[in-house]
């Protein structure tokens, strides 16, 4: 056995201090062990457990492996639609969807909000910044993924390992946790979808990381990215993400925007150079988001990211990791953001979540809306499916949903919603009515003057002559209502 749960005494059945003095985790607050939680004693028989678990060290002793039971099942801890090995459109569901668990939400989010501290009950977590606690958390996460049947996970460096007093100490702690992650990956077959560095929680990054006005902070960020890339590479990560948490500004009164953008590009070019140096072949992603925590973030949406990448000669090295709640914060639909990326051959991966229109900030909720998952899967299928990317649940339980089992309910719902979205999207594509309508809508460009426009064979004078000879063009209806009704045929 590689790890032990803490003794009851060490687990301290009181609330932990709400805020850490130093070395904050990705989401700023310490995990709180709820004072009234009781550890269930019911457990699985040892024979049913995967080899890395014993009945002594389960994090989720009440929960067995989640099974597919079909749409008629009334068991909330079963899949109604996600059937990993079922083939849809020539490929297994698990290979289409490539689900990932976000370590920062599943394992580190205390479920605090601006008006109250964490509520999450995580009995395996003693709330300390010790390496031992971080290592124990690894096994809880892999047990969770194994019981859920999710093949991938994603992390920030500071989610998996604590930030300590110096970079050297933090790096040593990171290596010690990476040892455990490597063992757990080997024992379970789970894989790292992408890694990233948390360049936004620590106070040093309060004015940005790659865009900080302070060169020492830039250097620290670069060193942190270097180490996070090393560990991602060591763990066979299929990608590495850059989300510009504070790469933006709070006010233009103190900001040299051009200089900051140049610096951000320098950081990314250094990452490209280092990637080549260490032979890391995973895909680099940029994740757009318009604001929060900063007032304006430079990577505000897909179009802004693509413009930045083109301007600084980085297009060949990056794709986009697009998140639903970020799309809506930018005033776009998720489908819009995906289409902008696909048009530039730059859609890489998806952070699967949803927002709340009535709240208006980044609520990171689990997606359950089948229209949304259908639209996402339509675009993913249209580009030929994920290669390195997948559907990473960058989503958290609500503050009210504080029990460990809520992590299962949340992910099961998201997985089922995407399974249905996949099936509906596949049916829409196989049926072909939308594609046929859109094709016919542009038919005037297939022949005659339209074909000449597309081929660049005519200019203003030829087109003026065309109008003088042919008069007013005949327009067809856009049939929006008919098409919106058609979507419901497939649900
Ligand atoms: C924050 C967010 C991040 C990135 C990774 O809104 O989405 O968790 O996905 O840094
Ligand atoms: Co995200």
- Residue spans of the chain under pLDDT 70: 1-56
pLDDT of residue 190: 98
243 Cα–ligand 1 center, Å:
6
Which CB contacts under 8 angstroms, 24+ apart, belong to 220-225? 220/167, 221/197, 221/267, 222/267, 222/270, 223/167, 224/157, 224/167, 224/197, 224/198, 224/199, 225/197, 225/199, 225/267, 225/271
**Catalytic amino acids?**
156, 159
**247 Cβ below 6 A of ligand 1:** no
> Ligand 1, closest atom to CA 26?
8
Cα–Cα distance between 82 and 54 in angstroms, integer?
Answer: 28
Model confidence pLDDT, tens digit, residues 144-173: 999 999 999 999 999 999 999 999 999 999
Which string of b and e fits 102-117 if b means at least 16 CB within 10 Å? bbbbbbbbbbbeeeeb
Q: What contacts 325, CB < 8 A, 6 or more positions away?
A: 353, 354, 355, 362, 363, 364, 365, 394
Q: What contacts 232, CB < 8 A, 6 or more positions away?
A: 192, 194, 195, 240, 280, 282
Q: Give, for ligand 1, the residue of 105, 109, 160, 196 to mutate: max count of ligand atoms closer than 8 Å to Cβ.
A: 196
CA dihedral 29, 30, 36, 38 (to 10 degrees): 130
Interhelix angle 460-470/448-455, rounded to 10 degrees, is: 170
**362 Cβ below 6 A of ligand 1:** yes
**151 Cβ below 6 A of ligand 1:** no
438 Cα–ligand 1 center, Å:
35
Residue 365 has a CB neighbour count (10 Å cut-off) of: 20
Alpha helices in 149-295 (DSSP H): 157-160, 167-188, 215-234, 257-278
Q: What contacts 347, CB < 8 A, 6 or more positions away?
A: 319, 320, 322, 338, 341, 379, 380, 383, 389
> Ligand 1, closest atom to CA 198?
10
451 Cα–ligand 1 center, Å:
44
- Answer whether the bond into residue 451 is a cis peptide, omega within 30°: no
Alpha helices in 67-197 (DSSP H): 93-97, 103-106, 131-148, 157-160, 167-188
- Distances in whole angstroms, Cα of residue 92 to Cα of each of 67, 83, 368, 406, 428: 16, 9, 21, 27, 18
Which pTM does this prediction carry?
0.90
| Residue ID of nearest Cα to ligand 1 atom 5 | 243
102 Cα–ligand 2 center, Å:
9
Q: Is the dihedral of CA 366, 370, 371, 375 positive or negative?
A: positive
Q: What contacts 38, CB < 8 A, 6 or more positions away?
A: none
Q: Using an 8 Å Cβ cutoff, are 193 and 237 in contact?
A: yes
pLDDT of residue 128: 97
| Residue ID of nearest Cα to ligand 1 atom 7 | 394
């Amino acid at each position: 056995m590689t790890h032990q749960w803490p003794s009851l005494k060490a687990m301290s059945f009181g609330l932990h201090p709400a805020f850490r003095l130093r070395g904050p985790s990705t989401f700023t607050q310490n995990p709180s062990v709820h004072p009234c939680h009781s550890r269930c004693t019911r457990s699985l028989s040892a024979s049913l457990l995967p080899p890395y678990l014993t009945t002594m060290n389960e994090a989720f002793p009440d929960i067995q492996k989640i099974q597919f039971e079909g749409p008629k099942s009334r068991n909330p801890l079963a899949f109604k639609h996600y059937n990993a090995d079922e083939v849809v459109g020539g490929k297994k569901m698990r290979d289409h969807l490539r689900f990932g668990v976000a370590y920062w939400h599943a394992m580190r989010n205390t479920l605090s909000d601006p008006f109250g501290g964490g509520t999450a009950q995580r009995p395996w977590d003693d709330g300390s910044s010790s390496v031992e606690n971080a290592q124990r958390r690894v096994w809880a996460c892999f047990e969770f993924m194994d019981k859920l049947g999710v093949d991938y996970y994603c992390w920030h460096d500071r989610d998996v390992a604590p930030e300590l007093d110096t970079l050297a100490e933090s790096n040593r702690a990171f290596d010690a946790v990476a040892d455990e992650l490597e063992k757990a990956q080997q024992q379970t077959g789970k894989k790292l979808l992408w890694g990233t560095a948390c360049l936004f929680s620590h106070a040093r990054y309060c004015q940005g990381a790659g865009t900080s006005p302070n060169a020492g902070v830039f250097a620290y960020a670069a060193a942190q990215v270097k180490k996070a890339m090393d560990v991602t590479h060591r763990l066979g990560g299929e990608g590495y993400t850059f989300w510009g948490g504070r790469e933006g500004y709070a006010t233009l009164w103190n900001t040299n925007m051009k200089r900051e953008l140049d610096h951000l590009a320098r950081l990314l070019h250094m990452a490209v150079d280092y990637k080549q140096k260490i032979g890391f072949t995973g895909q680099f992603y940029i994740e757009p988001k318009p604001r929060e925590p900063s007032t304006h973030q430079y990577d505000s949406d897909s179009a802004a990211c693509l413009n930045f990448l083109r301007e600084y000669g980085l297009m060949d090295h990056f794709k986009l990791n697009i998140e639903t709640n970020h799309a809506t914060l930018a005033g776009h639909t998720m489908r819009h953001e995906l289409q902008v990326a696909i048009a530039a051959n730059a859609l890489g991966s998806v952070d699967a979540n949803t927002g709340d229109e009535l709240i208006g900030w980044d609520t990171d909720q689990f997606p359950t809306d089948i229209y949304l998952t259908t639209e996402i899967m339509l675009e993913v299928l249209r580009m030929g499916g994920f290669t390195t990317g997948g559907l990473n649940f960058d989503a958290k339980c609500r503050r009210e949903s504080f029990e460990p089992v809520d992590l299962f309910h949340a992910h099961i719902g998201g997985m089922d919603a995407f399974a249905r979205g996949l099936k509906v999207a596949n049916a829409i594509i196989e049926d072909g009515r939308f594609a046929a309508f859109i094709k016919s809508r542009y038919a005037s460009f297939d022949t005659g003057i339209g074909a000449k426009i597309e081929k660049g064979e005519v200019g203003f004078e030829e087109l003026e002559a065309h109008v003088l000879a042919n008069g007013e063009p005949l327009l067809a209806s856009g049939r929006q209502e008919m098409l919106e009704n058609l979507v419901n045929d497939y649900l």
